[in-house]
Every structure is written in structure tokens, then in C-alpha cells.
Structure 1
Amino acid sequence: MKVVVIGGTGLIGSKVVAKLNEYGHEAVPAAPSTGVDTLTGEGLADVLKGASVVVDVSNSPSFEDKAVMEFFRTSTTNLLKAEAEAGVTHHVALSVVGTDRLQGSGYFRAKQAQEELIKAADIPYSIVHATQFFEFAKGLADGATDGDTVRLPAAKIQPIVSDDVAAAVGRAAVGAPVNGVVEVAGPEAFQLDEFIRQGLAAKNDPRAVVADPNVTYWGAELRETTLLPGPDARIGETRFADWLAQQQ
């Protein structure tokens, strides 16, 4: 089975390509560096020839509100049109747990718009909602740093390693379309500030980390459970402490 992975050279995409090829599928990475640009449509028709499934794990190069909305609307529209013309029978997209609850953020409004375009199209689909990745702990801290202090909302999070996200996306790609959302999360829930505190401590980062009820998460206000998955989520196996130990 030919599977085209949009964003197939990135953190998740490269892992999805490797996993699918390992199991005997023809997984083709598609990105601007391989001559495929979903914003302009360049290369889409050629790469989708003979494809049964398209996996979209691409992300906007800019998180500015207008730019990120333009990216997801334009790229998703172009991609779905090209898929319909190529006879693709399953569209898989990676999104974020809690997207519909995070609409105070321009980024998550754009992800919601992407999901709505997918649902409105005629192509059977599966949307994988993942929680925050272990690998992005430092980036999250950097975005929330005020002087020498990281200020984060008082909320819970259930982070997951990127390998487990890629495995979930791969399973969705080779399975039947669910025409809905599948959630995936890590095995442990943390307070958001504790997750970041542990991640920074492992890197000997001296920044103080505090829970501050007055700050937002990428512009969105959080309740304690906003970032947590529902009871039917698939749970990854890798624990954060074990992953941190492997990074040393």
C-alpha cells in the first residue's frame, strides 16, 4: 500500500515513514525539501499517483495568528483537492488533544479549521489527537519564560513521547477510516509546571518554574483538565522519567 506522508521529513513524519516501511508498506515522505509544497500545490499530483492513504503531519512555519490560519486552510484545501483527483481513499491527520477547548489561541483555531475542512470533504478520514510531546518540554518552557522564571497555567497534562505518537498515526494509516477522532496520550498525568520542571532539571537548566493562574497556554485560558484526553484514549508505554534517563 502506498502512503504519502505530508511533513514526512519532520520529527513525527520521519518516524511514521520508517515504521510503515518497516512493515512492508510504500511510505513516501513529502515536504518542500522533496519537491512537494502543499501551500502552492507544487508536486502534489505527482507524489499522490497510486497512493491509497495520505497522512498529514505537517505544521505551520509560523505560529502568528494570521499566518498559521492561512497555512492550515490553504494547505489542507489543496491537499484534499489533490487527493480527490488522485483517488485517495483515506486521509489521516495529526492534531492536538483539546483543540476544540483551546479556541482562545490562534494556533488552535487554525487546527480546528483544518479539522473542519477534513470532516466536510468526501474522503474518509481519521484524525489522531495527541497530547504534548516529551520532546517539546523545553520549547514550551522557552515560550513561557519571563526573565529567569517559567510561568505556566495551573493545569494538568498527560505528555507522550514522539515515538508513540508516530506509532498511533501509523496504526491509523493502515487501519480503516474511523471518520472521527482517536486520542493518544502518555501513561502519566502531571501538573504542567511539574512536567516542565522535571524536563529542565534533566538538562541542568536553572530556570525556576511556577504555576501562575494569570497566564495562558499559547493564548488560551486553561481549566485543570483542558489538556487531558478522554477515557477512551490509547495510552503509550514510555514514561517521562525513563525517556529523560535515555537522553542523558
Structure 2
Amino acid sequence: MATLSFLLRHCLRLLGIVSGLVLGGCGNGFFPEMDNKELPHYTLSNDEQAWVTPYRLGQEWRFRNAAGYERRYQVRGLTDRTWPGRPNPQSVIAYYQQEVGARVERVDSAYYQRAEGYKYAATFVLTSAAAYEPQPLALTARLEWGVSPLTLPVAAVNTSQPLPAGMRLLPEVNLGGRTYHNVIEYTSLPPQPDQDLRPWMATRLYYTKEQGVVRFEEAGGLVWDRV
């Protein structure tokens, strides 16, 4: 009976030691995911958010060519997410980053080849900068028009910096009878390395912060202007 009592007291003492280690470890390396301190949240500024304006859910983009044919595109999906960030794949979550995304699809009645929808769909993604040391990340903005991946120079335009090669900023231009301001012209859109140039592929594209795509030219010679 004495032996049993000794063992019971010994077990309780060990349990107290282990409990102290566990509770003392929270937030100091034993369980870093449970740290109570607030992690930084990096979000888009108002000037950066303005680039999402063309992507209101349900918004239609109508285009017309010289022969009078029309195409209609519609914003069919819109997301605003906060993603966890890690300095490297093995580390714990160190910060959070805002990302806004949109999906645009062709919806006019002449468009019936749904199996080839990738030709006439677009995706937009805008991700906030993250000033996390020692690996800060710059703001990124991407538009994929059909099979053409494009970088949107959001930071350069917002700070009046020169645009990268392959782009021009047109202060004012008339396209399809409409006047636009501060238009980004993508002067050449080559196909991907593993693709041949097809007639439906865009070779030149015009984009504004307020309206999105306002003109695109296809390899087959067709020019489509916003109406």
C-alpha cells in the first residue's frame, strides 16, 4: 500500500512538471503557432484598390469590330482573400497578405464552343506588397487574356515611373470613337514558347485602370473596341 502511494505521488509530480513545460512553452518556441501577438496584415491601399474598379461582379465588357459584330464578356467571379505568408516553406506563418481576384468570361450568343473557353476567358489577380524583413515582397498585378499572360504596371503608373519594356502609357487616345486617358498599350503579345500563333490570339492590347481592356487586336487581323 505504501509502494502504491509512493508511485501515485511520483506520477503526480511528473505530471506537474510536464504541465509547466507545456504552458511555459506557448508562444516561446514550443508552440509558435499559438503565439498571442498580432501578426502583420498587409493590405491594398486605396490607390491600389482602384485597379479593381473594372471587375464589379456582373459587369459587362462589350466589344465591336469594324464589320459590326459584337462580343460580350462578363465578370463572373470576384474574390477578396487574405493569404498566410511564410518566409520559406518550412517556417511558420509570419504575416498575412491581401489578394483580390476576378474571372471574366465571354457570354454572347455566338459563343458556343465551351470546350475552348480558355481562348476567350480572362483572369485578374492583384496582391498587396508585404514589407516583411528580411524578404519583402513587391505588389504584383496580373492579367491573363486568353493565353496571353500580362503584368499590370500598377506601382509604376501610380507613382509616375517609366513602364517596363513592351508597354507604353498613352496620356490620351481615341479608340473606336471613344477617348480614353492614361491607357497602357501592350505593343506586342508573343505566344507562349510551346504555342504557335493562332488567328484568335491577341497580339496587341490596350488597358485602363477604370475600364479594364478597351481594345485588343488579334493575329487574324480583327480589331475589337469597347462600346
Assess same fold via TM > 0.5: no
Give the structure with higher Rg (CA): 2
TM bucket normalised to smaller: under 0.3
| Higher percent of residues as strand | 2
Name the TM-score, length of structure 2 as normaliser. 0.25
Greater relative contact order structure (CA < 8 Å, 6+ sep): 1
| Higher percent of residues as helix | 1
Name the TM-score, length of structure 1 as normaliser. 0.23
